Structure 1
């Protein structure tokens, strides 16, 4: 979010979503009690969240994993001035089918700023790819929200054998689709401002009238302003170099685009530009703005799962 700077911001078959009581063990013969206990412990360990900072060359990258480790992997990448927490409400809806991996991009959340100061989108993608290699994640479906969609696309460009499919959530296809404010009127030297200013600044990331959660304001207050502003300029440069549909057409990667019909940062009708990609499908969410993972997590998760499970 920080600034609408320069106009931008497998393994195995997927499991069907679990029924509410599917976590209960199936009753067995009483002589199998020990087996049940060990199996239950193993299953619990397999689903235990793992939140850590991976020590990578140039700076650590925070990663969090949820869900069974043997399920098809799903990588979630946040957008500008955000963190992996943007996906919190969606993750429990996805772990019945997927091993969910989330990252904090360099200079965001719990991840270090790159030692060499390189926030270019391809470099961010390379660092995310290195994290997946360290985790032993194979072919993966990658989901990017907003400018996180540029990192997702760059990862597919850099590592086509790693990225099996892409989902872009409210990711602007080209600079001329940007409709957000030219500037947030924020002074880096006076950062952070008060809550009212932060709330006004963040408001365009949501549909009109949406109550922005206080935790997002608190997170924004602690953001590294120079890091986020530099990363946003890098996103602008990446998009200015080549519109996203032009990048995606030669890749042939299966693509699904999800777009909030009440987006106040990118012209919603611009999502139609992705139709030029032969593998693309587009879904509009009618009562959602720029941030569907927070505004409508259930609907967004349902659309995402319909895409990922239909591919196998």
Structure 2
């Protein structure tokens, strides 16, 4: 039988049901390599490039610019020149979009769970199997910030992603102590409530400082650390982003603030802006974010710098940073302890784990597995 490989609409995150094709990035006849960007797709979260999961010769482009198609819909076809057009036509005619929930992947994928920690209801997702990895997002974020990473990590690990207090779908309430040490202690109690005694951690921005603080305060609870543009290694931080996110009350105000996160501000979709506005308009969110800001970033600087005292022999560190970060300066990467593995990404901003997911994910997996 002729070998024909489908290119399908990816599923980025639990809530994604469909995507809009913005553009093909390659022409028919292109030799595709694994990881090559081949399409630009927009979801209700963000616009991003689709990297090829398989190699082959691109024979057909079935999705046109502007098409809105469900997850797993057929977008294109890879096949060698030896495969006839008739065989490809037959493959396309027979292809059916799987029903939602069909297949092992959907059955084992992450679903929302909740646990009460210190009286605060916390949303989290858990998926995969193997040694546990905890994902901690940054200021104003939520567990969906990991939507381009969680499936790859879950292929070899149990992955736990949480919404910090007053973020995402967790309660709009902060712990009584919500400085860095208080937030780290809260995360530790979350791990205890969910039955984990020791985890590796991948964390972003403010979440990175929380992870390092936890490693110092409860060293036996933390193994390896993967930090993406972390706080905690230098005083400087772009308060224009922090204050702008808190204070923005309209799409026009919020979109340029969210654009500071990404290398390409045009990747910020209207749906992403609207979702952030809905979150910010929940009763108590702005007050909680202001309180967290004042505890973490008083006087316009990072108040605590636990990264400077991190013992990387006990907690091996992989540091990932975008060279064009506009929120936390990439220069802070020079302050990391000796023995840190540092990877800097060109054409990447504050969220290189989203900007360059196809490059980041294998690096993270290799580090976690000791390579």
Preserved contact between residue 107 and residue 228 of structure 1 (Cα < 8 Å): yes
Give 3-state SS (helix, strand or coil) of 1:165's partner. strand
Kindly state the Cα deviation for residue 77 of structure 1 after the two structures are TM-superposed: 0.3
Give 3-state SS (helix, strand or coil) of 1:128's partner. helix
Output aligned runs, 1:78-117, within 5 Å.
Answer: 78-114=137-173, 117=176
1:76 to 121, 128, 135: 135
Structure with bigger gyration radius = 2
**What is aligned with 1:291?**
351
Preserved contact between residue 167 and residue 257 of structure 1 (Cα < 8 Å): yes
Q: List structure 1 runs of 4+ shifted beyond 6 angstroms.
A: 43-46
2:256 to 196, 200, 204: 200
Root-mean-square deviation (Å): 2.8
TM-score scaled by length of structure 2: 0.64
Q: Structure 2: give runs of 5+ residues left out of the alignment.
A: 1-52, 55-103
Preserved contact between residue 119 and residue 234 of structure 1 (Cα < 8 Å): yes
1:269 maps to 2:331: yes
The CA distance in 2 between the partners of 1:183 and 1:129, in whole Å, is 25
Give 3-state SS (helix, strand or coil) of 1:102's partner. strand
Larger deviation, residues 246-255 vs 213-222: 246-255
Give 3-state SS (helix, strand or coil) of 1:54's partner. strand
Corresponding pairs, count: 264
2:112 to 48, 51, 54: 51
Kindly state the Cα deviation for residue 202 of structure 1 after the two structures are TM-superposed: 1.5
**What is aligned with 2:269?**
213
Kindly state the Cα deviation for residue 255 of structure 1 after the two structures are TM-superposed: 0.9
Is the alpha carbon distance of 1:240 and 1:80 closer, same or farther for their aligned partners in structure 2, counting shifts above 3 Å?
Answer: closer
**What is aligned with 2:306?**
244
Output aligned runs, 1:1-312, within 5 Å.
Answer: 47-68=108-129, 71-114=130-173, 117-179=176-238, 181=240, 184=243, 188=247, 193-221=249-277, 222-223=279-280, 224-236=285-297, 240-249=302-311, 252-274=314-336, 277-310=337-370
Kindly state the Cα deviation for residue 97 of structure 1 after the two structures are TM-superposed: 0.9
Preserved contact between residue 65 and residue 102 of structure 1 (Cα < 8 Å): yes
Kindly indicate which of the two structures has a greater share of residues assigned to helix: 1
Q: Structure 1: give runs of 5+ residues left out of the alignment.
A: 1-18, 21-42
Kindly indicate which of the two structures has a greater share of residues assigned to strand: 2
Higher relative contact order (CA 8 A, sep 6+): 1
Kindly state the Cα deviation for residue 242 of structure 1 after the two structures are TM-superposed: 4.1
The CA distance in 2 between the partners of 1:128 and 1:91, in whole Å, is 19
Kindly state the Cα deviation for residue 267 of structure 1 after the two structures are TM-superposed: 2.2
